[in-house]
């Protein structure tokens, strides 16, 4: 475990869960990621027929196939994804087994489950019902289904979490921000365990039209699996994805006392804002650079120990270059030695779920000392001087650090540093 | 529709909304105490029943529908009056 001279509560990751375009669980996702598979597919739904974009990273496993029917009926799709990932992470941590959970008290369990947009499909389907059949047909469950904190509240009910139940909302940085906030809750002594992550279910004609009209989505009509291509000269926008990621964060003391398996340590986190533009990133990536520097300072991390970056890398012309600039600005001459992965090339962009899914990938990369590939990188943009993994790449032995970057509309920037534990 | 046909169709709605086994939805059963149908689910059952049976069940009547039999009787009367 990396040296951490500050005498404060140390936070570790003891459980992982996800459901996303590559797989319905963390193990399947990791396997398909290492194989360089794509979860981007054509959207067959005729409601998308008139849209300029008809591909997306649709969930590999329908949440209604794994959740109880009546329970799923009362949840927006975003809560269905969040609950699926949370149940996996909670089980993975062993905290669902009384003998392993020890004296765990619900008052000491928190939730930080982010959403970028909230229950937009519930909102729109109820509006459709109202227009077609009148206000009587609006579901009495519409509000508790569509509210942004519904995924977090659903998980609180599931695991009996009675400490803070938070929903950070910072667009595409939301999932990573949830992890940063969860670590803070534990460091501040407000919880021993926090189930953290992010979720999104926005593959609906309206958000797709909106993202397409703001020219954020790729209009590439070629093979869907090749459209998400971070850092490639032919990139022209992101591909929307859906799903959730969940991590069980726990104080090191609590994890050790119950003999938990520890995947990695949350060494530090940085959260900043650009104050530049509501949608465009700062072209120099200055806000993101400050988030990375804060994460490094927060964890007393030597930049030379950073071995891996799971980049935000959405496949947009501007954002991918800005992120390369910020890695050079923060890691200096070492930036060229870091193995960088852009996993959205395989999953598409899960918006509020992205930072959480990518945190799961970062933790698995650090634990397995193996960086996942970036697919579709045929011609590296000459403005990007980074060592990008295009095949799974070994990471060094010894204490290593992996950075997970997420940036969102509104100028939100979040970087979280995970450290190896063996 | 006979009383039994209305009960059976209502049972399918209760099953769809609340996951209660349709065979348990018998006339003497209380929605809240026996079938564990909460207030929001009851609103959903009522709206589905209005559409299915072509009747109107005002909100102020819903509280009087304590048992499955109450609901079936109400629907029968509303259909007869229509």
For residue A347, give its domain range. Answer: 269-419
Identity of the residue in B18, B44, B50 whose CB atom sits nearest the CB atom of A139: B44
- Residues of B that are catalytic: 38
Instruction: Report the residue of B41, B42, B57 to disrupt the A interface, i.e. the one with the largest count of A CBs within 10 Å.
Output: B41
Task: Please give the tally of structural domains in chain A.
Answer: 2
* Residue in chain B nearest A144 by alpha carbon: B40
CB contact under 8 A, B44 and A141: yes
Q: Name chain B contacts of A68, Cβ cutoff 8 Å.
A: 19
Same structural domain, A280 and A249: no
Identity of the residue in B18, B40, B50 whose CB atom sits nearest the CB atom of A70: B18
Residue A13, min C-alpha distance to chain B (Å): 36
Same structural domain, A280 and A401: yes
CB contact under 8 A, B18 and A136: no
Of A237, A257, A277, the one marking the end of a domain is: A257
Q: What ipTM, to 2 d.p.? A: 0.87
Report d(CA A26, CA A368) in Å as an integer: 13
Number of Cβ within a 10 Å radius of residue A51: 15
Same structural domain, A279 and A247: no
Domain contains A229: yes
Residue A387's φ and ψ, nearest 5 degrees, are -90, 90
Same structural domain, A234 and A204: yes
Identity of the residue in A136, A137, A141 whose CB atom sits nearest the CB atom of B40: A141
Residue A103: per-residue pLDDT? 72
Residue A422: per-residue pLDDT? 77
Number of Cβ within a 10 Å radius of residue A288: 32
Domain contains A262: no
Domain contains A343: yes
Residues of B with CB under 8 A from a CB of A: 17-19, 40, 43-44, 47, 50
Which H or E run includes A41?
strand A41-42
Placement of tokens 């209305």 in the chain: B6
Same structural domain, A203 and A308: no
Number of Cβ within a 10 Å radius of residue A66: 16
In tens digits, what is the pLDDT along chain A, a chain of 422 residues?
555 555 789 999 999 999 999 999 999 999 999 999 999 999 999 999 999 999 999 999 999 999 999 999 999 999 999 999 999 999 999 999 877 767 789 999 999 999 999 999 999 999 999 999 999 999 999 999 999 999 999 999 999 999 999 999 999 999 999 999 999 999 999 999 999 999 999 999 999 999 999 999 999 999 999 999 999 999 999 999 999 999 999 999 999 999 999 999 999 999 999 999 999 989 899 999 999 999 999 999 999 999 999 999 999 999 999 999 999 999 999 999 999 999 999 999 999 999 999 999 999 999 999 999 999 999 999 999 999 999 999 999 999 999 999 999 999 999 999 999 97
Domain harbouring A30, CATH code: 3.40.47.10
Distances in whole angstroms, Cα of residue A64 to Cα of each of A73, A75, A78, A79: 8, 10, 12, 11
Same structural domain, A314 and A216: no
Q: How many CA atoms within 13 Å lie on the side-chain side of A58? A: 13
Active site residue A276: no
Domain contains A117: yes
Residue A104: per-residue pLDDT? 82
Domain contains A308: yes
Tokens of A319: 């954002």
Report d(CA B47, CA B52) in Å as an integer: 9
Answer whether A140 touches B (CB < 8 Å): yes
Domain contains A306: yes
Report d(CA A328, CA A324) in Å as an integer: 6
Report d(CA A370, CA A17) in Å as an integer: 19
Same structural domain, A168 and A190: yes
Residue A6: per-residue pLDDT? 54
Tokens of A10: 């140390």
User: What is the pTM (predicted TM-score) of this model?
Assistant: 0.95
Residue A2: per-residue pLDDT? 53
Domain contains A244: yes
Report d(CA A146, CA A151) in Å as an integer: 9
Active site residue A312: yes
Residue A100: per-residue pLDDT? 73
pLDDT digits (tens, 9 = 90+) for B51-61: 999 999 999 99
Same structural domain, A350 and A210: no
Identify the bridge partners of residue A387 per DSSP, sorted by sequence position. Answer: A339
Tokens of A250: 């726990």
Same structural domain, A211 and A151: yes
Same structural domain, A222 and A369: no
Same structural domain, A50 and A181: yes
Same structural domain, A55 and A159: yes
């Amino acid at each position: 475990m990396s040296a951490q001279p500050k005498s404060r509560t140390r936070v570790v990751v003891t459980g992982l869960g996800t459901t996303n375009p590559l797989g319905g669980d963390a193990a399947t996702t990791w396997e398909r990621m290492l194989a360089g598979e794509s979860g981007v597919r054509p959207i067959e739904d005729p409601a998308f027929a008139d849209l300029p974009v008809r591909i997306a990273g649709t969930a590999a496993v329908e949440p209604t196939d794994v959740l109880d029917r009546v329970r799923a009926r009362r949840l927006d799709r975003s809560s269905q994804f969040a609950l699926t990932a949370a149940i996996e992470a909670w089980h993975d941590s062993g905290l669902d087994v009384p003998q392993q959970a020890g004296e765990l008290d619900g008052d000491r369990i928190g939730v930080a489950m982010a959403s970028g947009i909230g229950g937009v499909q519930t909102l729109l389907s109820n509006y459709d019902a109202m227009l077609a059949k009148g206000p009587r047909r609006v579901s009495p469950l519409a509000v508790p289904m569509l509210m942004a904190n519904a995924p977090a509240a659903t998980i609180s009910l599931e695991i009996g979490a009675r400490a803070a139940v938070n929903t950070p909302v910072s667009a595409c940085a939301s999932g990573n921000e949830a992890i940063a906030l969860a670590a803070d809750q534990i460091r501040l002594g407000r919880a021993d365990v926090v189930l953290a992550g992010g979720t999104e279910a926005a593959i609906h004609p309206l958000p797709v039209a909106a993202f397409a009209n703001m020219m954020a989505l790729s209009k590439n009509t070629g093979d869907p699996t090749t459209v998400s291509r971070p850092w490639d000269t032919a990139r022209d926008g992101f591909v929307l994805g859906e799903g959730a990621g969940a991590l069980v964060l726990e104080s090191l003391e609590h994890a050790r006392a119950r003999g938990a398996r520890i995947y990695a340590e949350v060494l530090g986190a940085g959260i900043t804002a650009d104050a530049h533009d509501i949608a465009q990133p700062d072209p120099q990536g200055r806000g993101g650079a400050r988030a990375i520097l804060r994460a490094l300072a927060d964890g007393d991390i030597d930049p030379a120990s950073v071995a891996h970056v799971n980049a935000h890398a959405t496949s947009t012309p501007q954002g991918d270059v800005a992120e390369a600039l910020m890695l050079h600005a923060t890691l200096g001459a070492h930036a060229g030695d870091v193995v960088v992965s852009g996993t959205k090339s395989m999953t598409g962009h899960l918006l509020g779920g992205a930072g959480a899914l990518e945190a799961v990938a970062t933790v698995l990369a650090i634990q397995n000392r193996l960086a996942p590939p970036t697919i579709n990188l045929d011609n590296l943009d000459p403005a990007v001087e980074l060592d990008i993994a295009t095949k799974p790449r070994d990471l060094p032995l010894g204490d290593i650090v992996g950075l997970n970057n997420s940036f969102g509309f509104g100028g939100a920037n979040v970087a979280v540093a995970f450290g190896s534990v063996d | 529709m006979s009383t039994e046909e209305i009960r059976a169709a209502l049972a399918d709605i209760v099953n769809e909304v609340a996951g209660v086994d349709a065979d348990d939805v018998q006339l003497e059963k209380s929605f809240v105490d026996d079938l564990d149908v909460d207030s929001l689910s009851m609103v959903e059952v009522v709206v589905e029943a209005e559409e299915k049976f072509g009747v109107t069940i005002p909100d102020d009547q819903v509280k009087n529908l304590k048992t499955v039999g109450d609901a079936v009787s109400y629907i029968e009367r509303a259909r007869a009056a229509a």
